[in-house]
Chains A and B, each alone.
Chain A
Amino acid sequence: MLHIINKSPLTNGSLDSCLRVAQTGGDILLIEDAVYAATTGNAFESKILEAMGRFKIHVLMPDLEARGLADRIITGILPLDYGGFVDLTANNNNCQSWL
């Protein structure tokens, strides 16, 4: 299953809720303001590092580039372009957007 997050982890509980509920082995995609969760030095980093053992975590690169943080991506998080976003969606049976 694919979980899509679009809110910053430091001002919204969506990513926390997702990590609490999502089943091990799923895909998590960080887009829009959620891409801040994919950056080093963020206060949420330790939770992401822990989650990387249970999920495949992806980040949408155009959103990270827009925010000036493409060079801060946490090692092990998988970068994705729009084409990759489509593939990820198509390859999962279902998807939950944590709005």
Chain B
Amino acid sequence: MSEESSIKKFMFVNRKAPYGTIYALESLEVVLITAAFDQDVSLVFMDDGVYQLKKGQQTKGIECKNFSPAYRALEGYDIEKLYVEKESLEARGMTEEDLLVDVTVLGQAEMGELMDQQDVVLSF
């Protein structure tokens, strides 16, 4: 089997807000593991998942680790495909300006199309 054919398209679908549950942090951990195996990784943020990328998180008062800077480090692991659903941003009064990383904003139809093209979809 050639090396080329062993690369699969992995999509991580993040739909939970940070801190209230452990999903956002756990997703980030698994994403970093996947990156170590040189796979084609895409990250999707939709519904309350878009809150994971909000600028200006200050967690001192709740005594939790602020893991949001880690999203900026993903580029260093060659994870550069970050997608945010347009409708989810709008429902939360947010724009790309509110996000701490550069992302591609997709409408719901485009998001569904991208999801269809994946080999593996992991939900958080």
- Residues on the B chain within 8 Å of A90, using CB: none
A36 CA / B55 CA spacing, docked (Å): 14
User: Which residues of B from 38 to 57 have beta carbons under 8 Å from A?
Assistant: 47-48, 51, 54-57
Q: How far is the CB of B57 from chain A (nearest CB, A)?
A: 4
Whether a CB of chain B sits under 8 angstroms from the CB of A89 is no
Structural contact, B19 and A32, CB atoms closer than 8 A: yes
> Considering the chains assembled together, what is the distance between the CA atoms of A8 and B59 in angstroms?
18
* A37-77, CB < 8 A from B: 39-43, 45, 61-63, 65-72
A39 and B93 contact, CB distance less than 8 A: yes
A38 to chain B, nearest CB (A): 12
Asked whether any CB of chain A lies closer than 8 Å to the CB of B91, the reply is yes
For A33, give its contact among B17, B54, B68 (CB under 8 Å).
B17
Interface centre among B20, B64, B92 (most CB of A within 10 A): B20
Q: Contacts A68-B54, A69-B54 given: A10-B20 contact, CB under 8 Å?
A: no
A36-B51 Cα distance, complex, nearest whole Å: 9
Considering the chains assembled together, what is the distance between the CA atoms of A62 and B57 in angstroms? 10
Query: Which residues from chain B sit less than 8 Å from chain A, CB to CB?
Result: 15-21, 47-48, 51, 54-62, 64, 66, 68, 91-94
Interface residues of A (CB under 8 A from B): 6-8, 10-11, 32-33, 36, 39-43, 45, 61-63, 65-72
13 A-B contact pairs sorted by A residue (CB < 8 Å)? A7-B20, A10-B48, A11-B15, A11-B16, A11-B48, A33-B19, A33-B21, A42-B93, A43-B92, A61-B61, A66-B57, A66-B59, A72-B93
